A and B are shown apart, each in its own frame.
Chain A
Amino acid sequence: MREEIRKIQEMLRGQTYIADAAVATSLYLALRLGKPLLVEGPAGVGKTEIARVLAAALDTRLVRLQCYEGLDAATALYEWNYSKQLLHIKLQETSAESADEKEARIFSEPFLLKRPLLEAITDPARAPVLLIDEVDRSDEEFEAFLMEVLSEFQVTIPEIGSIRAMHRPHVVLTSNRSRELSDALRRRCLYLWIDYPTFDKELEIVRAKVPALSASLSSDITRVIQTVRGMSIRKVPGVAETLDWAAALVALDTSQLDQQVMAETAGCFLKDESDLRRFESEMEAGRLDEVLDPTISHDNI
């Protein structure tokens, strides 16, 4: 493996983010090529976390734009501070300034409210990490606007003129695939798919994030979660749920995982009533026995 990629992997590990080769390689290329990175995958596998960790590792600022339906350019880019403008006009009523001068004054930077996108490209010190979270939730109109910003890193405010990025931000986009993104946007980005982690990777994450949980319990719950993901349930638990569960077991001072403990704490990783019922019936049917039985569990899976 290339030295730089290994370094990135270590850098992320330093922020307790366990990255596999695919994540590290994509980040390396995104940084080298200066392209946005589009991250897709199921909920709770650490898509958003990538940006957070990248910002911490690069020791720079994280600017986050949370997308939602109806998000428009005014909310994402800039807005004029209307009340301040009105006040200013009132205060200056008797001044000798002409209408043109007044207009130029109230449409200048002190009256501008910067929103995340403008914030990200006007950082004077260094390139921040710009996280455009859940871009699939915004609508097509916004996506088109976003593409314009991402390709030029330059925005035009009619009253002021164009503003060009002083430092090109590192851009990370995440999507939950609630709708198909346009091909144009996809082409503009490097692509990374993050799936549910393997047993080894997930165990490593649990150990790194919840060190207070004993080694045997950590591998027990990881094994249970991996089994649960194989069941036909509606809301498959992500890594975030595994960690919630681990933290809950620490708080409850649990020393051994048995059916009763699982039934009591299943709400940590199953967020749907029918899934809970399903889980309980699977548990009673004995599907989790070998996971729980200490005599066969540890070397078998």
Chain B
Amino acid sequence: MTISENESLLDNTVLFCRALRERGLLVTPSEAIESVVVLDLIDLGNRQETFLSLRSVLTSRREDFPVFEELFEDFWNRLSRTPKPRKLIERESEHQVRLSSTRRGKGLAFFLEHWGNAESREAESISTPVASSTVSMAEKDFSLFTSEELEEISRLTRRIVRRLARAPSRRWEPVRRGQRVNLRRTLRRSLTTAGEVIQLSFRRRKPKKTRLVVISDVSGSMDIYSRILLQFVYGLQTSFARVETFVFSTSLERITAHLKQRSYDEALGRLSSVQGWSGGTMIGASLSAFNSLWSNLVDKRTIVIILSDGWDTGEPSELAASLAHIKDRAGRLIWLNPLLGSPSYQPLVRGMQAAIPFIDVFAPLHNLATLRALEQHLVL
């Protein structure tokens, strides 16, 4: 291999790694260096071998595979010098354009994103019509909230975090008084009295934390409620051992990692760019996808919250079967339906009717009072 070939291999690898990182993979310079090391260890003429080796270094979860496969194609073509040169670059810039356009749009999403920050005061108010002030705040529908009123949600969240009760877990922690003797400490302390045990140390079970799985409908009309629920749930995060979040409209997407690292807004933006955004809701299909891929996340210490209005365009039997499965595994299954807030609403939607037998808690979620009421269901 000549020097220039070597250089182009290095360049291409670095470009490849950068493209992967742009698309959300866990690739840092140290992985890039490792890829170069790896390329030296393998047969570069063999496509499969190069593919498998780089995949093993540069991906870190199965969900990374499609992106990797797609970009590897470009990488490989560049290596074998077939003319397809500018593709990597184009995709990068495309991506950046999309990012900045989502950043530009302010409004409710922007506000939710930044609340708690000092700058959030400057957030523009949301574009929904403001209701008359005679409606008391607790009863007011979220869709009519102004940004100051949304602040109330974050205050409520903080209050609830402090109150959520806790059950014992399997971990131990030292305490002054307790029922179980902490041998390590007792012995340690006995040394100061020449090995005579005079004072006992104790330990107890650490408080247990419940897990939460939120599966939220983000199709059209549900969008505002799901944003509020997710923001609420993430405010509660410290009270739970783990919070896992999924959104669905026509198909299911796991956004836990996005919510942790990037923004909810960007996660939603990605989602809508991938799928038909308003193409009807497939609750049954989404929940059965959840069951087949992620049912490991649900156990008796997990509370599952589903937020949806129950307008399912799929088969009610599929919805019933997947809900039955979730109910079997979960500690509690909560279905939140914003439409329940309307006095005239009867759960007559076929999907909703199929769902009701399997639900532990069927509650509305459309204003502060209902959000507050949710608290009591969040302790197992």
Contacts and interface: CB of A to CB of B under 8 A. Distances in A.
A25 B56 contact: yes
A31 B59 CA distance: 18
A190 B56 contact: yes
B198 interface: no
A193 B26 contact: no
B256 interface: yes
B38 A21 contact: no
Contact of A191 (B28, B42, B61): B61
B195 A90 contact: yes
Contact of A234 (B30, B169, B325): B325
Nearest to B254: A180
A25 B256 contact: no
A176 interface: yes
Interface in B183-199: 183-184, 187, 190-192, 194-195
Interface of B is mostly: helix
Nearest to A190: B56
Interface string B122-156: 00000000000000000000000000000000000
A133 interface: no
Contacts of A178: 296-297
Contacts of B52: 21-22, 25-26
Contact of A40 (B62, B241, B297): B62
A93 to B, nearest CB: 7
Interface stretch (B43-51, B113-121, B232-240, B359-367): B43-51
A154 interface: no
B81 interface: no
Contacts of B48: 1, 21
Contacts of B325: 234
A59 to B, nearest CB: 23
Nearest to B206: A70
Interface stretch (A80-88, A204-212, A254-262): A80-88
Contacts of A201: none
Nearest to B171: A70
A164 interface: no
A283 interface: no
Interface stretch (A181-189, A213-221, A240-248): A181-189
A33 B256 contact: no
Contacts, number: 108
Contacts of A103: 191
A70 B170 contact: yes
Contact of A80 (B34, B65, B184): B184
A99 interface: yes
Given A25-B49, A33-B34, A82-B184, A1 B43 contact: yes
Contacts of B61: 40, 186, 191
Given A82-B187, A103-B191, A187 B60 contact: yes
Interface residues of A, number: 46
B187 A99 contact: no
* Interface range for B: 35 or more
A7 interface: no
Nearest to B169: A70
Contact of A187 (B26, B169, B295): B26
A65 B370 CA distance: 46
Contacts of A22: 52, 55-56
Given A33-B34, A82-B183, A2 B191 contact: no
A26 B169 contact: no
Interface string B51-72: 0110111011110010000000
Contacts of B1: none
Contacts of B251: none
Nearest to A79: B184
A89 interface: yes
A187 B31 contact: yes
A232 B288 contact: yes
Contacts of B49: 1-2, 5, 21, 25
Interface in B242-287: 242, 244, 256-257
Interface string B155-190: 000000000000001111000000000011001001
Contacts of A176: 296
Given A1-B46, A99-B194, A179-B297, A69 B170 contact: yes
A45 interface: no
B187 A29 contact: no
A298 interface: no
A32 B292 CA distance: 36
A280 interface: no
Nearest to B298: A178
Given A85-B187, A90-B195, A232-B288, A29 B26 contact: no
Given A25-B49, A187-B31, 14 more contacts: A21-B48, A25-B53, A29-B56, A38-B60, A40-B62, A72-B171, A72-B172, A82-B187, A92-B195, A99-B191, A102-B195, A141-B171, A187-B26, A190-B57
20 contacts: A1-B48, A2-B49, A25-B56, A28-B41, A29-B53, A33-B38, A70-B171, A92-B195, A139-B241, A141-B171, A176-B296, A177-B294, A177-B296, A179-B242, A179-B297, A180-B244, A183-B60, A189-B60, A190-B57, A193-B62
Interface of B: 26, 28, 30-31, 34, 37-38, 41-43, 46, 48-49, 52-53, 55-57, 59-62, 65, 169-172, 183-184, 187, 190-192, 194-195, 241-242, 244, 256-257, 288, 291-292, 294-297, 325
Interface of A: 1-2, 5, 21-22, 25-26, 28-29, 32-33, 38, 40, 69-70, 72, 74, 80, 82, 85-86, 89-90, 92-93, 99, 102-103, 139, 141, 176-180, 183, 186-187, 189-193, 232, 234, 236
Give 3 closest A-B pairs by Cβ, nearest first.
A70-B170, A89-B195, A186-B60
